[in-house]
């Protein structure tokens, strides 16, 4: 316990600043101070284990801790950060449930004030205001857990590792985007002169030079800043000392594709410095627009999903792919995820390209996508970097048969059946997607198919992109099930035609749903609701099968709408399921639907960010 007058004075000074002691006067603080002891902790140290007895009440007066919870399946996840001035152990002590539910690890170096459990029980009886303060703290914690409170800026201590000039270009653009979002940023770098070569440093930012053995990230950002950033240049071949990155909440590694062979060795040295750095590390691939596909890392795996960003120009207006990549990276850092789910519907799915074109022109981009059947086909091509207008031209050309074929009766249906029977989809799609894997695409994608063996939905997030499309568009009866790994796979629309729920379950904060089957023309094989029985016509088997699929997509789409936050519903009712030769016309229906609601969508997304991210701290 503190003994000298100086130690008592320091203890009182700390207590006067914490919420727990709000409302106590100086004399009352003097009564509490002698019952505390000081305990220091070092960055990376395990301060407390889950399930151990809680016999002490803690106040964090310097530094930060992280809390981790283990779920019933034994998986540990990060709950959050315990900041300076916050308390620990009070719930277990007051409920007399003396087992700690979480593990605590030191984020930085710091200091705890520690008091016996019986002291806390006595204090709340003597000073009722202390119990009020604890209830106020617990109420705020509950709001955060329930999602009712705003999030603070995630990763307030951000490390960026660059290995090339393009890395500095992207770092400058990222800083500009964060500043435009209202953040106040302090920037350090080991090579300040490199910024002058790129000309991408925002005017509002000045660079502080950092030495090899400095470690500014062991302290939180000063009050006038929301985020402290270190941009650290390293040699991808020879490595470097990463000491200044110690204490970072998150580390972005801006990697060139040519860095791939050396990444395992390089990241190993980073992990050696900071034991759990692999959990904080996120790869950001710097790609080119003519090949926006990341290298495959078979052995190297990180907890955080990688991000792909096209970086080509250092000056001038960035391309659409460059802008979208920076937007996605900024949202990752701000803890926001926006998804779009694309429904199936045969040729009606060509409306997705029109929707995506309007959204893109309005500056709306997405962090994750999902799709079923035609939605998977359109979405995966878009996620690979193909522009919507380019996709339209190619589909219009590839899926329009010869004049001779168009002389056949009911030729659109026959042509679509031939596409399946001749396995023509594979050759057509491989011209554009080659042997790329889903995990290499610029935007993470979830493709939906159905396994008839276990009668369940299967979600593809990895593996061959063309194969994922073929599984998702595999129409029953028209084409036999695809047999693979103990599964018999057919069109995902059989069970989930608009997979918005998949995105919500994977953490998307806001999901746009594009339903191309919500409008159905009340006509089948020339038959209408008002037609007398004697004038009705018999339908062919192919017409009947396609109408069944259309009806199924329409009704399943109506049932699966709870995960959708914003709807776009192109009216494609005048188009047939097999009319791919009308791709451009169908896309116009998508454009019209998106243009009607784009301003509302932009407003909703703006409100989302304001709601999820807490306002910046006041200056001073």
Q: What tens digit of pLDDT does each residue of 482-523 get? A: 999 999 999 998 889 999 999 998 889 999 999 998 777 777
Query: How confident is the model over 101-118, as a mean pLDDT?
Result: 90
Q: Would you place residue 236 in the very low, low, confident or very high pLDDT band (cuts 50, 70, 90)?
A: low
Phi, psi dihedrals of residue 549, rounded to the nearest 5°: -60, -40
Q: For the chain, which residues make up each domain, given as ranges?
A: 5-148, 157-333, 338-525+533-611
CATH superfamily of 157-333: P-loop containing nucleotide triphosphate hydrolases (3.40.50.300)
Q: Cβ of 469: how many Cβ atoms within 10 Å?
A: 27
Query: How confident is the model over 174-200, as a mean pLDDT?
Result: 86
- Please determine, for residue 617, whether its predicted confidence score (pLDDT) is greater than 50: no
Integer CA distances (angstroms), 110 to 15, 27, 101, 106, 225, in order:
16, 27, 22, 8, 20
Nearest to 513 by CA among 374, 343, 367, 302: 343
Q: Would you place residue 148 in the very low, low, confident or very high pLDDT band (cuts 50, 70, 90)?
A: very low
- CATH code assigned to 5-148: 2.60.120.10
β-pairing verdict for 185-189 and 207-209: parallel
Query: How confident is the model over 99-112, as a mean pLDDT?
Result: 86
pLDDT of residue 410: 85
Query: How confident is the model over 178-205, as a mean pLDDT?
Result: 84
Q: Would you place residue 557 in the very low, low, confident or very high pLDDT band (cuts 50, 70, 90)?
A: low
Phi, psi dihedrals of residue 179, rounded to the nearest 5°: -65, -40
Calpha distance 496→446 (Å, rounded): 12
Give the CATH class of 338-525+533-611.
alpha beta
pLDDT of residue 239: 52
Which residue did the predictor score with more confidence, 208 or 276?
208
What contacts 24+ positions apart, CB below 8 Å, involve 135-141? 136/19, 137/19, 137/20, 137/86, 137/87, 138/90, 138/91
pLDDT single digits (tens) 26-36: 899 999 999 99
- Please determine, for residue 609, whether its predicted confidence score (pLDDT) is greater than 90: no
pLDDT of residue 615: 47
Task: Write out the H or E segment, with its range, that includes residue 172.
Answer: helix 165-180
pLDDT of residue 556: 65
pLDDT single digits (tens) 266-316: 777 665 555 566 678 899 999 998 888 999 887 666 777 899 999 987 667
Nearest to 401 by CA among 389, 421, 418, 377: 418
- Please determine, for residue 537, whether its predicted confidence score (pLDDT) is greater than 60: yes
CA dihedral (176, 182, 185, 189) in degrees, to 10, reads -10
pLDDT of residue 545: 73
Helix or strand or coil: residue 568?
strand
Integer CA distances (angstroms), 54 to 88, 94, 190, 300, 497, in order:
10, 11, 44, 39, 50
- The rounded radius of gyration (Å) of the Cα atoms in the chain is 29
pLDDT single digits (tens) 421-440: 999 999 999 999 999 999 99
pLDDT of residue 618: 38
Q: Residues in the chain, how many? A: 620
Q: Is residue 362 classed exposed, middle or buried when 0-12, 13-18 and 19+ CB atoms within 10 A define those classes? A: middle
Calpha distance 594→100 (Å, rounded): 51
SS3 labels along 12-62? HHHHCCCHHHCCCCHHHHHHHHHHCEEEEECCCCEEECCCCECCEEEEEEE
């Amino acid at each position: 316990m503190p003994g000298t007058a100086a130690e008592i004075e320091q203890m009182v000074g700390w207590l006067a600043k914490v919420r727990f002691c709000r409302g106590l006067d100086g004399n009352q603080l003097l009564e509490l101070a002698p019952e505390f002891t000081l305990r220091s902790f070092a960055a990376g140290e395990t301060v407390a284990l889950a399930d151990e007895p809680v016999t002490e009440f803690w106040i964090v007066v310097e530094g930060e801790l992280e809390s981790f919870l283990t779920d019933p399946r034994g998986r540990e996840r990060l709950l959050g950060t315990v900041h300076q001035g916050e308390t620990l152990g009070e719930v277990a002590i007051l409920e007399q449930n003396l087992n700690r539910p979480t593990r605590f690890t030191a984020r930085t170096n710091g200091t705890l004030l520690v008091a016996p459990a019986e002291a806390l029980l006595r204090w709340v009886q003597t000073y009722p205001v202390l119990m009020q303060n604890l209830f106020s703290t617990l109420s705020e914690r509950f709001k955060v857990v329930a999602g009712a409170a705003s999030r603070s800026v995630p990763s307030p201590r951000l490390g960026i590792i660059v290995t090339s000039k393009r890395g500095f270009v992207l770092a400058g653009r990222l800083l500009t985007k964060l500043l435009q979002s209202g953040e106040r940023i302090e920037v350090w770098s080991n090579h300040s002169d490199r910024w002058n070569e790129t000309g991408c440093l925002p005017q509002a930012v000045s660079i502080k030079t950092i030495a090899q053995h400095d470690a500014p990230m062991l302290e939180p950002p000063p009050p006038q800043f929301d985020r402290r950033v270190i941009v650290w240049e390293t040699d991808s071949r020879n490595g470097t000392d990463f000491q200044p990155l110690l204490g970072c909440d998150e580390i972005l590694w801006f990697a060139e594709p040519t860095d791939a062979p050396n990444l395992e060795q390089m990241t190993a040295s980073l992990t050696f410095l900071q034991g759990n750095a692999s959990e904080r590390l996120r790869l950001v691939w710097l790609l080119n627009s003519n090949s926006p596909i990341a290298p495959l890392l078979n052995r190297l795996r990180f907890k955080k999903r990688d991000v792909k960003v096209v970086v080509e120009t250092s000056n001038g207006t960035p391309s659409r792919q460059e802008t979208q990549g920076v937007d996605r990276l900024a949202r990752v850092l701000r803890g926001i995820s926006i998804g779009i789910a694309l429904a199936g519907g045969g040729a009606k799915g060509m409306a997705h390209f029109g929707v995506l074109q309007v959204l893109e022109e309005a500056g709306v981009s997405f962090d994750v996508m999902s799709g079923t059947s035609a939605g998977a086909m359109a979405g995966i091509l878009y996620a690979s970097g193909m522009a919507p207008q380019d996709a339209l031209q190619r589909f219009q050309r590839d899926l329009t048969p010869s004049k001779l074929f168009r002389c056949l009766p009911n030729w659109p249906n026959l042509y679509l059946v031939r596409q399946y029977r001749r396995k023509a989809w594979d050759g057509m799609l491989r011209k554009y997607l080659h042997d790329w894997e889903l995990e290499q695409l610029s935007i993470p994608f979830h493709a939906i198919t159905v396994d008839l063996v276990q009668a369940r939905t299967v979600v593809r997030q990895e593996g061959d992109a063309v194969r994922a499309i073929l599984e998702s568009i595999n129409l029953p009866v028209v084409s036999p099930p695809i047999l693979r790994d103990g599964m018999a796979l057919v069109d995902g629309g059989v069970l989930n035609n608009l997979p918005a729920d998949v995105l919500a379950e994977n953490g998307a904060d806001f999901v746009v749903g594009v339903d191309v089957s919500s409008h159905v023309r009340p006509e089948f094989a020339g038959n209408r609701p008002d037609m007398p029985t004697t004038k009705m016509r018999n339908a062919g088997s192919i017409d009947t099968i396609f109408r069944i699929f259309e009806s199924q997509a329409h009704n399943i789409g109506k049932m699966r709408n709870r995960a959708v936050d914003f709807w776009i519903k192109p009216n494609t009712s005048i188009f047939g399921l097999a009319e791919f030769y009308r791709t451009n016309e169908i896309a116009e229906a998508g454009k019209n639907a998106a243009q009607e609601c784009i301003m509302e969508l932009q407003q909703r997304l703006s409100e989302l960010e304001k709601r999820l991210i807490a306002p910046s701290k006041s200056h001073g």
